[in-house]
Amino acid sequence: MSATVESIAAEDERLLPRSPLRRLISRPELGSVLGAIAVFLVFAVVADNFLRAGSLGTVLYAASTIGIMAVPVALLMIGGEFDLSAGVMVTSSALISSMISYEFTANVWVGVGVSLVATLAIGLFNGILLTRTGLPSFIITLGTFLMLTGLNLGFTKLISGTVATKSIADMDGFPAARALFASHLTIGSFAIQVTVLWWIGMVAVATWILLRTRAGNWIFAVGGGRDAARAVGVPVERTKIGLYLGVAFGAWISGQHLLFNYNVVQSGEGVGNELIYIAAAVIGGCLLTGGYGSAIGAAVGALIFGMTSKGIVFAQWDPNWFKFFLGAMLLAATLLNLWIRRRAEATR
Amino acid sequence: MTAPHEPHDPAADAGADHGPGPTPAPGTPPPTGDAAAAETAASGTPLLELAGVSKHYGNIRALEQVSLTVRGGAVTCVLGDNGAGKSTLIKIIAGLHRHDAGIFRVDGAETTLASPRQALELGIATVYQDLAMVPLMPVWRNFFLGSEPTVGRGPLRRLDVRLMRSTTRERLLRMGIDLRDVDQPIGTLSGGERQSVAIARAVHFGARVLVLDEPTAALGVKQAGVVLRRVAAARDEGLGVVLVTHNPHHAHLVGDHFVLLKRGAMAGDHAAGEITLDELTRQMAGGSELAELGHELRRAASPGPDSDE
Ligand SMILES: Nc1ncnc2c1ncn2[C@@H]1O[C@H](COP(=O)(O)OP(=O)(O)OP(=O)(O)O)[C@@H](O)[C@H]1O
Ligand SMILES: [Mg+2]
């Protein structure tokens, strides 16, 4: 018996090291990186101001506001689920924070803390409802999306009498909270928004979780084969609930940025952003059916959005074309990803 | 069929004989104590015992009053036609489904397993018929899915990737599978290779009881031989083995006990010495003169020919 094992082991020196090219081509984010380079080159040529440090800072800022949400949304998609309430959840989080601070004339950090708990509770609600009922996440989060949209408008009108909250700029703790969520650092002539740091931090943590922890293994597994994952002892429910909590955490950061950047919150904001987050994740190589994708890809998808939205302005094109470009890019990126994946599988 | 042993296998008898004696400690990773395993084997308490177990899916009676015993150092074979309830039985043992009636004992204590996790912690590892794999994930990630080894602590606690890769490669080599690349998505492997990965995984994690649902179904002659040798090796290490198969030849080679299922109910229960291969084949085929032909047809196109069921 052991002799057999040895002879098999000996003749298996055919194990070739994987070529770096094939390793590269099988990465999910490859398509989005190529797309980002193309978009960058286009605007570098057609928009004179695009390559200036100030412009790049603006682009990065636009990318970060989407990227902070696109990253946890991508993780959720890898885990096989959607969250249509992600866009309005950002607004809810900002509104809760603002109203608690204003109505109780409390330190803004009280509002920030209450908002964190409340936003995580919304994520928990989504996650528990999903795992308990077994209904598709599309339906459940469509429900929370509509409910939150209504609650945002209704409560704001009820409490402040208008569609926006009152300014909290003169309240205790505001400067410190602003420094954390909505300040910018200047490095030489380059001004960088703090949201960019949040964004990079989220990408780093998400990538670490996905590729190097047990939880990451479980995220891929629950998205790529739920029944198989359950059969080998993966805690499927806990993993999915954790992913919804991740989205809620991203919504909290985004929401606090919204609040401390503008001092007031418009209660109707956020509707439609959930689709932009999903689009960024898909451009970044996430499969709609789950089980495949990357956090870095989603971040690059957000970068493409940032470059396009600001590049159009720098190129002095009519901004009304923005959505058209986004849609075309989404389709192009998805087709590119599909083509690359087919090629990668064929070369195996 | 090239097989590792003769039909009347002296090794099987030897394996059954050393059951009551002091059992050698299993060579696989020991989670919940080999001492307990050795002790129960010595005192004659079966590792697993099902008595009159039933399982209903809604109004479908999948299993009715089935009894089965698994002892350390012995192979219990479960035989039966398609839809006889074999997989259902396996899923109860694996903790994936709960039984509706009857008694399920582990080490003599009545239990209802709440989850596959709990079964694994009791040292029961299963190869499912559908293999329980995630096609897009690399081989090494699938191998350790649900039981990933880690290094470091606190926020730096991370997968022990090096160990996971080398163990996967080494375990597969032992099964006779020379994989080009453990980073390959497991969905790109052939059916037989996937089956071998599933078996290697169960052998690696099955500390006390190894449950195999049709492990030789998709395998070539050589790999089927390797699997049967693995089954015999696990038995010789003192593990209890439950082997589900359609193939009476395979069953007869390694089995110490044969449980026949028919439409969810027990149709027979024989010790290895009591029944010949011909008789086993005849009983499986429902006593028909076409036993031999039926067997061949079933292997040629698995679900089709059993039109009488
Ligand atoms: N989840 C389920 N819901 C309803 N019925 C089921 C379910 N699983 C199995 N059954 C039914 O229970 C019966 C036994 O199924 P089981 O899978 O245990 O058969 P089997 O003996 O493993 O067959 P095979 O040899 O084809 O693998 C079948 O009639 C099947 O249709
Ligand atoms: Mg079956």
pTM: 0.84
**Which carries the bigger pLDDT value, residue A276 or residue B234?**
A276
Nearest protein Cα to ligand 1, atom 22: B87
The residue of chain A nearest to residue B174, with distances taken between CA atoms, is A5
> Are B132 and A227 inside 8 Å of each other by CB?
yes
Single out the residue of A123, A17, A4 nearest to residue A73, CA to CA: A123
Residues in chain A with CB shorter than 8 Å from the CB of B227 are none
Which atom, in ligand 1's list, is nearest to the CA of B86? Answer: 21
Taking the C-alpha atoms of residue A246 and residue A226, their distance in angstroms, rounded to an integer, is 20
The residue among A25, A232, A288 with the most chain B CBs within 10 A of its CB, best to mutate, is A232
pLDDT number for residue A322: 83
In this structure, the number of other CB atoms found within 10 A of the CB of residue A187 comes to 9
Q: At what angle do helices A174-182 and A194-212 cross, to 10 degrees?
A: 60
Could you report the per-residue pLDDT of B125-184, keeping only the tens digit for each? 999 988 789 988 999 999 999 999 999 888 889 999 999 999 999 999 887 788 878 888
Single out the residue of A81, A52, A36, A33 nearest to residue A222, CA to CA: A81
Nearest protein Cα to ligand 1, atom 12: B62
> By the 8 A CB rule, do A140 and A261 touch?
no
> By the 8 A CB rule, do A120 and A242 touch?
no
Strands (E), A197-279: none
Taking the C-alpha atoms of residue A248 and residue A34, their distance in angstroms, rounded to an integer, is 30
pLDDT number for residue A29: 83
Q: Pick the range with the lowest mean pLDDT from A11-15, A37-41, B293-297.
A: A11-15
Taking the C-alpha atoms of residue B40 and residue B46, their distance in angstroms, rounded to an integer, is 7
Whole-Å CA distances, A330 to A34, A247, A278, A291, B32: 13, 22, 10, 20, 52
> By the 8 A CB rule, do B85 and B63 touch?
yes
Chain A: nearest CA to B292, how far in angstroms? 32
Name residues 5-44 of chain A within 8 A of B (Cβ): 5, 8-9, 11-12, 14-16, 18
pLDDT number for residue B77: 93
Instruction: Express as a percent the part of chain A with pLDDT over 90.
Output: 63
pLDDT number for residue B262: 87
With 80 as the cut, is the pLDDT of residue B305 above it?
no
pLDDT number for residue B154: 85
Average pLDDT, chain B: 79
Taking the C-alpha atoms of residue B171 and residue B182, their distance in angstroms, rounded to an integer, is 11
Average confidence (pLDDT) over B191-208: 85
Taking the C-alpha atoms of residue A187 and residue B136, their distance in angstroms, rounded to an integer, is 43
> In the numeric block, which tokens belong to residue A42?
């286009």
Single out the residue of A302, A298, A287, A290 nearest to residue A337, CA to CA: A287
Taking the C-alpha atoms of residue A298 and residue A202, their distance in angstroms, rounded to an integer, is 11
Residues in chain A with CB shorter than 8 Å from the CB of B198 are none
Count, residues in chain A: 348
Position B225, amino acid: G
How confident is residue A106, by pLDDT bands cut at 50, 70 and 90?
Answer: confident
How confident is residue A238, by pLDDT bands cut at 50, 70 and 90?
Answer: very high
Whole-Å CA distances, B155 to A208, A311, B147, B160: 10, 39, 19, 14
pLDDT number for residue B31: 43
Residues in chain B with CB shorter than 8 Å from the CB of A345 are 185, 188
User: DSSP state, A17?
Assistant: P
Tokens 């598709």 sit on residue: A136
> In the numeric block, which tokens belong to residue B123?
């040292």
From the CA of B71, how far away is ligand 2's center (Å)?
22
From the CA of B259, how far away is ligand 2's center (Å)?
15
Single out the residue of A99, A78, A43 nearest to residue A278, CA to CA: A78
Tokens 């009636």 sit on residue: B101
> In the numeric block, which tokens belong to residue B29?
């990773």
> Are B188 and A345 inside 8 Å of each other by CB?
yes
> In the numeric block, which tokens belong to residue A5?
């094992």
> In the numeric block, which tokens belong to residue A220?
């891929």
Could you report the per-residue pLDDT of A156-179, keeping only the tens digit for each? 999 988 889 988 888 899 999 999
The SS3 call for residue A209 is helix
What backbone torsions phi and psi does residue B70 show, to the nearest 5 degrees?
-120, 120
Taking the C-alpha atoms of residue B138 and residue A259, their distance in angstroms, rounded to an integer, is 43
With 60 as the cut, is the pLDDT of residue B237 above it?
yes
pLDDT number for residue B247: 84
The residue of chain B nearest to residue A341, with distances taken between CA atoms, is B136
How confident is residue B233, by pLDDT bands cut at 50, 70 and 90?
Answer: confident
Residues in chain B with CB shorter than 8 Å from the CB of A206 are none
> By the 8 A CB rule, do A277 and A137 touch?
no
With 70 as the cut, is the pLDDT of residue A194 above it?
yes
With 60 as the cut, is the pLDDT of residue B217 above it?
yes
Instruction: Express as a percent the part of chain B with pLDDT over 70.
Output: 78
What residues have a C-beta under 5 A from ligand 2, the ion? Answer: B 86-87, 129
Count, residues in chain B: 309
Q: Please give the ipTM for the structure prediction.
A: 0.84
Residues in chain A with CB shorter than 8 Å from the CB of B135 are 224-225, 291
Q: Pick the range with the lowest mean pLDDT from A116-130, B25-39, B290-304.
A: B25-39
> Are B148 and A16 inside 8 Å of each other by CB?
no
Taking the C-alpha atoms of residue A117 and residue A121, their distance in angstroms, rounded to an integer, is 6
> By the 8 A CB rule, do A229 and A222 touch?
yes
The SS3 call for residue B100 is coil
Average confidence (pLDDT) over A211-226: 95
From the CA of B214, how far away is ligand 2's center (Å)?
7
The residue of chain B nearest to residue A28, with distances taken between CA atoms, is B136
Could you report the per-residue pLDDT of B243-259, keeping only the tens digit for each? 998 888 888 889 999 99
> Are A231 and B128 inside 8 Å of each other by CB?
yes
Considering all CA atoms of chain B, what is the largest pairwise distance in Å, rounded to the nearest integer?
66
Average confidence (pLDDT) over A187-200: 89
Single out the residue of B306, B309, B246 nearest to residue B281, CA to CA: B246
Taking the C-alpha atoms of residue B204 and residue B198, their distance in angstroms, rounded to an integer, is 10
Taking the C-alpha atoms of residue B309 and residue B304, their distance in angstroms, rounded to an integer, is 11
> In the numeric block, which tokens belong to residue A279?
């689009």
The residue of chain A nearest to residue B93, with distances taken between CA atoms, is A231
Please name which ligand lies nearest the alpha carbon of B89: 1
> Are B134 and A228 inside 8 Å of each other by CB?
yes
**Cβ density class A92-130: b for 16+ within 10 Å, e for less:** bbbbbbbbbbbeeebbbbbbbebbbebbbebbebbbebb
> In the numeric block, which tokens belong to residue B67?
């009894």
Tokens 């590049």 sit on residue: A311
With 60 as the cut, is the pLDDT of residue B4 above it?
no
By CB atoms closer than 10 A (0-12, 13-18, 19+), residue B4 is middle
Could you report the per-residue pLDDT of A276-291, keeping only the tens digit for each? 999 999 999 898 889 9
Tokens 């085929």 sit on residue: B285
Taking the C-alpha atoms of residue B222 and residue A209, their distance in angstroms, rounded to an integer, is 40
> By the 8 A CB rule, do B105 and B209 touch?
no
Position A295, amino acid: A
How confident is residue A10, by pLDDT bands cut at 50, 70 and 90?
Answer: very low
Could you report the per-residue pLDDT of A244-275, keeping only the tens digit for each? 999 999 999 999 999 999 999 999 999 999 99
Helices (H), B69-218: 86-93, 116-121, 139-144, 161-174, 191-205
Taking the C-alpha atoms of residue B126 and residue B212, their distance in angstroms, rounded to an integer, is 6
> By the 8 A CB rule, do B207 and B44 touch?
no
By CB atoms closer than 10 A (0-12, 13-18, 19+), residue B308 is exposed
Average confidence (pLDDT) over A88-115: 94
The SS3 call for residue A347 is coil
With 90 as the cut, is the pLDDT of residue B287 above it?
no
Could you report the per-residue pLDDT of A306-322, keeping only the tens digit for each? 999 899 888 888 888 88
Average pLDDT, chain A: 88
